[in-house]
Amino acid sequence: MLYYLFKYLSSLDVPGAGVFNYITFRAAVAVILSLFISMVFGKRIILWLQKNQFGEIVRDLGLDGQKQKQGTPTMGGLIILASILIPTLLVARLDNIYIQMMLVATIGLGFIGFMDDYLKIKYKNKDGLAGKFKIVGQVSVGLFIGALLYFSDSTEVRHKVFNETPVNTGLQVENGDENKTNPSEYTWQVTKELKTTIPFVKNNEFDYSWFLTWINQDLAKYSWIIFILISILIVTAVSNGANMTDGLDGLATGTSAIIGTTLGIFAYLSGNYIFADYLNIMYIPNSGELVVFISAFVGACVGFLWYNSYPAQVFMGDTGSLAIGGIIAVFAIAIRKELLIPILCGIFLVENLSVLVQVGYFKYTKKKYGEGRRVFKMAPLHHHYQKLGIPEAKIVARFWIVGIMLAIVSIVTLKLR
């Protein structure tokens, strides 16, 4: 909204109004606003949650400090959602298809998480919304995102196509390829091909149509189905991964802030013609506006840590965890970095795998030996370290350090191929 106001003021030659045309400036404003909302109004939301007795119901898992968390206000994800949505609505371009997509995904997954938290509190049990309804909601969001990215005319992708007979102008570009250093040797081709980025691979573009064309080239016209199915899988997996990670004070929030910062860098580079050209990556027009959204996201996560860091005064609940996981997934798909998720979101991945391994091995050994055995002392993985006697705050800090390392590795993939 403010973008359009300042655009109008700029047309009237009001001094300084044109600064809102810059994505970097609006991203900075989004961070400040999200921090302000989460830190200032967050306390009021926490008091409201306490007044209405929206407290966490904690199962007895035999963990140190667990009883102290009983009754701590939950559903604090409302703070995160407000701190994302309000700054985005104020400073982002609302006519941008990517911003519209992120708003729909945030509200949709936030609503699913809210219903889950509300039912848990209302009926005083940990089951909440039935799992099948959660999955239906996540699948619906993934279906919407995949279909929108493929069928919308506003979500084109441009990638380099090198000419067979280049014209030598003597200009050199440092793109790591000695045979193709002249900018006149290629053109940017607009495409709706279902291409994405493969990390650590030269000319790192992968076309999803390969899953069908290796069988028959005529099947290429159905490759959009593969893309939508993968979008559904990623949205479901990452949102559930964030939900699994939300077990210690500040763990999911801090990890998500690190991931969000990295995705913001990718979005800025992919949405900038000059950087995309230099780095030899796909150029995605209008995706730079996503930097404004992800800035609000990072600010919301950091601001929420003001109350969620150990010892937590509020928990985000599924209202927050499902939303932030879904936001990360949808954002990565939009900028064609979804295949980086196993690296960038390695914390989420390991947390999910620890649960799958624990449950799978328990069932296998129970069937084979008559009694279930465990790989970890407790799953998800962060509870395993708690059982080893490591303090909660230290576990969280170490997970953050690993998250930063994974973020650096993800950024390095831009040049290391």
> Closest by alpha carbon to 333, among 26, 104, 80, 101?
101
Tokens of 366: 């129970």
In 3D, which of 130, 131, 136, 128 has the Cα closest to residue 317? 128
Check residue 320 and give its pLDDT. 93
Q: What does the domain layout of the chain look like in residue ranges?
A: 2-156+192-412
Backbone angles phi, psi at 176, to 5 degrees: 80, 5
Q: Give CA–CA dist 156/161, Å, rounded.
A: 15
DSSP codes, 231-246: HHHHHHHHHHHHHHHT
* pLDDT the model gives residue 254: 95
354 contact partners, CB below 8 Å, separation of at least 6: 376, 379, 380, 381, 384
pLDDT of residue 179: 38
pLDDT of residue 354: 94
Beta pairing class for 195-197 and 205-207: antiparallel
- How big is the chain by its Cα radius of gyration, in Å? 23
Q: What is d(CA 278, CA 392) in angstroms, rounded to the nearest whole number?
A: 44
Q: Is the dihedral of CA 284, 268, 264, 44 positive or negative?
A: negative
> Which stretches in the chain have pLDDT values below 50?
167-184
| Burial label, 117 (beta-carbon count in 10 A; 0-12, 13-18, 19+) | buried
* Three-class SS state of 160: strand
- Separation between Cα atoms, residue 276 and residue 270, nearest integer Å: 6
The answer to whether the CB of 77 falls within 8 A of the CB of 110 is yes
Give the closest residue to 296 by CA, choosing from 107, 86, 95: 86
Q: Tell me, what DSSP letter sits at residue 312? A: P
Taking only the tens place, the pLDDT of each residue in 358-377 is: 999 999 998 888 888 899 99
DSSP per-residue string spanning 327-356: HHHHHHHHTT-GGGHHHHTHHHHHHHHHHH
